[in-house]
Structure 1
Amino acid sequence: MSVHLEVIEPGLATTIQDLGRRGWQRFGISESGAMDPVALATANALVGNTVGTAALEVTLAGPVLACINGDTRIALAGADFAIAIDGRPVASHETHDLKSGQHLVIGAARDGARAVLAVSGGFQIKPMLGSVATQSRSQLGGLNGGPLRKGDLLPLALPGLPGRPHLMVSPTNRVRPNGPVRVLLGPQDDAFSAEGIATFLGSDYAVTPLSDRMGCRLEGPRVAHAGAVGIVSDGIVFGSIQIPGNGQPIILLADRQTTGGYPKIATVISADLPRLAQLRPGERVHFQSIEEDEAVKLVREMRRQIDRVGDSMIEVHGGSNLTSEHLLASNLISGVISALEWVQADVATS
């Protein structure tokens, strides 16, 4: 009998994601992949996987999962979600053993929007075009090309409990970054008036409920174009900010279209891409323009940081888990997420 996780309740929009389907955009196929690769790397490191191993991306309200025919070790990282195993509350950013027959309940997000659930060894799912990342609009990847459904069975690639210690993320690596979202102006900033660019950089914009994995739609002061509102369609990267005719910015995300005909006023730098995954409807965004040299420096720093992702882990000693370090890390007051920085090596977004 295979060991698997059974989906009792699917949650709001739970999908299987890895680092994405790279190299296919020229054929019109979206890259997809984890919206918050920091969370993916952190959750996988906790359970002993490579940073890009496929895992479950949870959005705003999580699933109820049952472990069937065997045991596994799990970890949730990213936004702060309520979590319980058979009714017993447990902490995020920490490993837990899920025994055969037990139920894992991931409730509503208390801070942030998305988290990643990793299982030791990952899932046994056949890749499509080199990735298992789910792209719902194209019906690619995952189990059935879309979000999890009630009754789905997720086969485990390496069931059983690993012989390594339980780990948790150091408390100093869980602070949710804030401040302006940093951007590089362009590639079509010349399509906007000086007043339009000043409005874009000088205003707060609210995230609308129409936002999803394809794009983060913003609402605020209108950004004025210098002339025509359309261009000859060209390529779009994770973090491109389009301004359509209504003057309201749209940040293109993991499931973005591969080309588009609206001018792009700016591109979010790679260092700030994981923050976009954690924006909730109603939250406000302010943009700050930086220079290319600074963006490149941040890219290099993040590459070094991902190499040290394991340095943020500390062992959880004893069965009670009531050490002072554990209590400090258990989010007794407010929501926190990992502040580990991650970059996808995409020069176009840096």
Structure 2
Amino acid sequence: MKLKVMQPGMLTTVQDEGRWGFQGKGMPVAGAMDLFALRSGNIMVGNDKRAAGLEVTVLGPTLSVVEGRGTAVVTGADLGFSVNGELFPCNVVVEVKEGDHLSFSGIKGNGSRAYLIFSGGIDVPVIMGSRSTYLRAHLGGLEGRALKKGDIFSTGEPHVLWERFIGFSCPASALPGRQLDQPLRVVMGPQDDAFTDRGIETFLSQTYTISDSADRMGYRLEGPVIEHSGAADIISDAIPLGTIQIPGHGQPIAMLADRQTTGGYTKIAVLCTPDIGALAQRLPGQKVRFRKISFEDAVAATRKEHALLDGIHQLVATWITPIASSTQTTSTILEDTPRSGMWRLSIDGTGHTVHWERLD
């Protein structure tokens, strides 16, 4: 498909999982702020879960399909997605075709970032292993910037059975249960010894407010001062995704997708991986609390989130697989199915012979 940007929205960028493997050379990762939303949307339309989509922030774009047909799904925040004026809920796969208009009316519930995923993904140049937009370096995506009016972009090659994904609806039970009043889980360190006991207690017991300066690089938080035991500065070292830095003023900064590669402020804790997306969906003015968990519990929570993605894979596979008539039993179906065979295929004009055998 080809799509034209009629209105760009507040901040709409091309993002995938990010530009991993180059931090040692000074290149930030970038990528989707809510990785679960990106990955789940890709699964729902039959893409590789790492494919690029549009990250839509608060006020979404208006797009026109100028060529072709395919599918689309919106995941993450409900920002009022509609096709030709018909409103569609999140996590429902819809068909889009030439002449259709896709738009967003604004926030309908919790969350600030939606992911508009198309079958085949967004086809922009791959730079250092990623299609993600890193705005500060004007790198990746569409010319290293947010979408603007008049842009035209294409989608990639969709799943061979892409039409079968139309109508799939992911149940809420298959998605993370995020609540605004839930504390964000953190693993303490790596420099939690740079804070007094009182400072640690403040961090874990007090409520902080997301400031107006929150962006893709990091969320600055405002609240009670977190007390250092000595100097706030250290010799610069690596900044993991979800790190919470405490500069000399004692106010936390949660480092997110566009974070710099190294920094010299003490890091009191690191967000549990599933809660990074939960924070990224919150808006300036909303509240944040933290809860200490063990490294083992953080690993278990991350595995649980990956299990949710596996579950969505299974739901999608069930949806696209033709269901046999209810009058046939499973054993009858298998008895009537050949145990082996041969297919002749032509791919790009080249003939291929494929032999297959059913393994029970």
Distance in 2, Cα, partners of 1:236 & 1:83: 35
Q: Residues 154-194 of structure 1, C-alpha deviation per residue, up to 9 Å, x if partnerless?
A: 11223799331420111323564131101011111111111
Q: Distance in 2 between matches of 1:144 and 1:267?
A: 32
Partner Cα distance (1:312, 1:37) in 2? 19
Q: In the alignment, does 2:125 pair up with 1:126?
A: yes
**What is the aligned partner in structure 2 of residue 170 from structure 1?**
171
Cross-structure match for 1:341 = none
Distance across 2 between alignment mates of 1:123 and 1:33: 13
Match of 1:277 among 267, 271, 280: 280
Q: Distance in 2 between matches of 1:207 and 1:255?
A: 17
Task: Indicate the residue corresponding to 2:21 in structure 1.
Answer: 23
- Counterparts of 1:309-324 in structure 2 under 5 Å? 309-313=312-316, 315=319
Q: Aligned match of 1:210 in 209, 213, 217?
A: 213
Deviating more after overlay: 245-254 vs 105-114: 105-114
State which drifts further: 153-162 or 224-233. 153-162
CA distance change for structure 1 residues 32 and 104 in 2, over 3 Å: closer, same or farther? same
What's the CA shift for 1:29? 0.4
User: Among residues 172, 181, 186, which one is paired with 1:183 in the alignment?
Assistant: 186
State how 1:296-311 maps to structure 2 within 5 Å. 296-311=299-314
Cα separation, 2, equivalents of 1:230 and 1:305: 39
The letter of the residue matching 1:233 is: S
Instruction: Give, in whole Å, the separation in 2 of the partners of 1:64 and 1:176.
Output: 29
Equivalent in the alignment of 2:86: 88
Displacement after TM superposition at 1:124 (Å): 1.9
Which residues of 2 match residues 148-297 of structure 1 at below 5 A?
A: 148-158=147-157, 162-166=162-166, 167-174=168-175, 176-178=177-179, 179-297=182-300
Q: In the alignment, is the contact (CA less than 8 A) between 1:75 and 1:93 conserved in 2?
A: yes
What letter is aligned with 1:168? S
Q: Which amino acid aligns with 2:170?
A: V
Secondary structure in structure 1 of the residue aligned to 2:163:
coil
Distance 1:235 1:127 in 2: 25
Q: 1:104, 1:229 → 2: CA distance?
A: 48
8 Å contact from structure 1 (residues 60, 109) kept in 2: yes
Give yes or no for contact 2:81–2:88 (8 Å, CA) kept in 1: yes
Could you tell me which residue of structure 1 aligns to residue 326 of structure 2?
A: none
Separation of aligned partners in 2, 1:235 and 1:155: 36
CA distance in 1 between counterparts of 2:99 and 2:42 reads 23
In the aligned structure 2, how far is the partner of 1:312 from the partner of 1:220?
A: 43
Do residues 34 (structure 1) and 32 (structure 2) align? yes
Per-residue CA distance 1:12-55 (angstroms, 9 max, x = gap):
11110111101000011001111111111121111111111110
Greater C-alpha Rg? 2
> What is the one-letter code of the residue matched to 2:164?
R
Corresponding residue of 1:322 = none
Letter in 1 for 2:267: K
Aligned residue type for 1:55: G
User: Secondary structure, in 3 states, of the residue corresponding to 2:24?
Assistant: helix
TM-score by length of 1: 0.86
CA distance in 1, matches of 2:274, 2:172: 21
Task: Give the Å deviation of 1:71.
Answer: 1.7
SS in 2 for 1:29: coil
Q: 2:53·2:116 contact (CA, 8 Å) conserved in 1? A: yes
Structure 1, residues 57-114: CA drift from partner, whole Å, max 9, x if none?
1111110000002222100000111112122222221011112111100221222011
8 A Cα contact 1:84 1:90, kept in partner: yes
Shift of 1:147: 0.9
Q: 1: CA distance between counterparts of 2:276 and 2:6?
A: 32
- Residue 145 of structure 2 is matched in structure 1 by 146
The Cα RMSD (Å) is 1.8
Displacement of 1:272 after TM fit?
Answer: 1.5
Within a 5 Å distance, the mapping from 1:57-76 to structure 2 comes to: 57-76=55-74
SS at match of 1:303: helix
**How far off its partner does 1:201 sit?**
0.4
Tell me the secondary structure at the aligned position of residue 80 of structure 2. Answer: strand
Give structure 2 stretches of 5+ with no counterpart: 321-360
- Contact 1:239–1:267 at 8 Å: present in 2 too? yes
Question: Matches of 2:177 and 2:148 in 1, distance apart?
Answer: 30
Contact 1:72 1:161 in 2 (8 A): no
CA distance in 1, matches of 2:161, 2:293: 46
Letter in 1 for 2:149: K
- How many pairs does the alignment contain? 314
2:186 counterpart letter in structure 1:
V
In the alignment, the residues of structure 1 paired with residue 117 and residue 303 of structure 2 have an alpha-carbon distance, to the nearest angstrom, of: 26
Is the 2:211–2:285 contact (alpha carbons within 8 Å) kept by the matching residues of 1? yes
User: Identity over the aligned pairs, expressed in percent?
Assistant: 42
Q: More displaced, 292-301 or 233-242?
A: 292-301
Q: How far apart are residue 146 of structure 1 and its match?
A: 1.3
